[in-house]
């Protein structure tokens, strides 16, 4: 018999704030964090803005002598993990260390370190490369560093499935606990791709918004004037536990993990399938896993990146899932405020969905000003809204046609 899995901690760091409650407060107020890039000179770039985590001091989470060993995505992941662990009141003692795991994903990893060390190679030769280069940059070292920090000796993994990566990490962690392979999982994702190669690469694909004259209004999911996504950075980390473990230690339970779906488009390296088939199937897979019908879903945190094609296709998929009820289901894209965290998006948005269930409040899609006939759902435009929500669905879709959907349930102790 599979075990029930609950969420006891949420740690969020993104352009909207540093710390879970600060982020949540700003999201509900519709206060986005997108602005001009400050981490490098972007004056020659087609896109000159991003969702940066401003005023982030890594020394609050990493000792100065250790900074050279951790890329920015790891720093952000350590901060989010700290917020999540503290919210959960979790202490990983030697008695439970082997039953506590870490699964923190990233789509890109340490671009900042890769670019820095490549420059040193070109300018000074191979002797100038730091011995810490590889462990500072590779994708699984957010998980590695977090596990070392908390002494978590259970399952330790990381996915790199593009923009679905941290949703896969959360879903896989759910299943690890459900089948009895761990009692606790620290899971989610982190990303820090606001670098010259990160911004330049996505701009070369013509994937980014170029609304440089008004960056705060650039991320506008489902709006008729959307022109591309905005790169964001940050981290979203959750504490998942078996229900028995959480209750045994008297933890405050935020929500329950109900369902997890995965699918592949098998269609194109960057574009979603035209009829939304992959997105439709992954949502239905999450519902099937939870053994519930679409009718129970009261909120969807959409992938909603603000690209012309992607938003319209996700809308098609949502129509297929909900049928005649589709226009009555609130759907919002918090990427309108945070930007797109790429591999970190799923963890961040899973955390936001859990907070929506906790407080029965729906965050808005800001910058929604011009309705698009191809996007005709209730996108919770511009203003947060109270709502009675039993189940919340969080969508993540990535390049290569890799999809994930997470279904969370409002906590009920019965």
Catalytic machinery residues: 163, 303, 340
Enumerate residues 6+ apart whose C-beta is below 8 A from 388: 298, 360
Distance in angstroms (rounded) separating the CA atoms of residues 258 and 184: 16
| Secondary element (H or E) of residue 240 | strand 234-242
Distance in angstroms (rounded) separating the CA atoms of residues 29 and 11: 19
Residue 304 to residues 39, 96, 199, 335, Cα–Cα distance (Å): 26, 39, 19, 7
Enumerate residues 6+ apart whose C-beta is below 8 A from 127: none
Q: Is 18 exposed, middle or buried (0-12, 13-18, 19+ CB in 10 A)?
A: buried
Enumerate residues 6+ apart whose C-beta is below 8 A from 14: 23, 33, 51, 53, 232, 233, 234, 235, 236, 338, 339, 341, 348
Q: Does residue 376 sit in helix, strand or coil?
A: coil
Distance in angstroms (rounded) separating the CA atoms of residues 149 and 92: 10
In this structure, what DSSP letter does residue 180 have?
A: T
């Amino acid at each position: 018999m599979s075990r029930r899995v609950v969420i006891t901690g949420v740690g969020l760091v993104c352009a909207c704030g540093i710390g879970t409650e600060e982020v949540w407060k700003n999201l509900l107020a519709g206060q986005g964090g997108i602005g001009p890039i400050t981490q490098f000179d972007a004056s020659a770039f087609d896109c000159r803005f991003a969702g940066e985590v401003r005023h982030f001091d890594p020394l609050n989470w990493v000792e100065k002598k250790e900074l050279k060993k951790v890329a920015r995505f790891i720093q952000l992941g350590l901060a989010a993990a700290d917020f999540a662990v503290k919210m959960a009141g979790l202490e990983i003692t030697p008695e439970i260390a082997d039953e506590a795991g870490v699964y923190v994903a990233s789509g890109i990893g340490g671009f900042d370190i890769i670019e820095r060390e490549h420059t040193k190679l070109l300018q000074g030769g191979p002797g100038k490369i730091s011995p810490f280069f590889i462990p500072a940059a590779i994708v699984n070292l957010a998980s590695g560093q977090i596990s070392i920090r908390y002494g978590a000796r259970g399952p330790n993994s990381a996915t790199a499935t593009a923009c679905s990566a941290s949703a896969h990490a959360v879903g896989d962690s759910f299943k690890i606990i459900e089948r009895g392979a761990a009692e606790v999982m620290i899971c989610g994702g982190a990303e820090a791709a606001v670098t010259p190669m990160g911004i330049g690469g996505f701009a070369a694909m013509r994937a980014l918004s170029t609304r440089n004259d008004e960056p705060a209004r650039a991320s506008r999911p489902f709006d008729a004037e959307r022109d591309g996504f905005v790169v964001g950075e940050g981290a979203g980390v959750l504490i998942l536990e078996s229900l028995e473990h959480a209750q045994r230690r008297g933890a405050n339970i935020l929500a329950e993990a109900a369902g997890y779906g995965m699918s592949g488009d098998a269609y194109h390296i960057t574009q979603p399938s035209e009829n939304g088939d992959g997105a439709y199937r992954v949502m239905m897979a999450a519902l099937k896993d939870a053994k519930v019908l679409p009718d129970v879903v009261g909120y969807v945190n959409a992938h909603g990146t603000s690209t012309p094609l992607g938003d319209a296709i996700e809308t098609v998929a949502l129509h297929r899932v909900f049928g005649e009820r589709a226009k009555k289901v609130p759907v919002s894209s918090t990427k309108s405020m945070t930007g797109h965290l790429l591999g970190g998006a799923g963890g961040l948005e899973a955390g936001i969905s859990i907070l929506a269930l906790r407080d029965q409040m729906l965050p808005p899609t800001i910058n929604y000003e011009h309705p698009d006939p191809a996007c005709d759902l209730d996108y919770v435009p511009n203003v947060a809204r109270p709502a009675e929500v039993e189940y919340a669905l969080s969508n993540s879709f990535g390049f290569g046609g890799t999809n994930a959907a997470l279904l969370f349930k409002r906590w009920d102790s019965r």
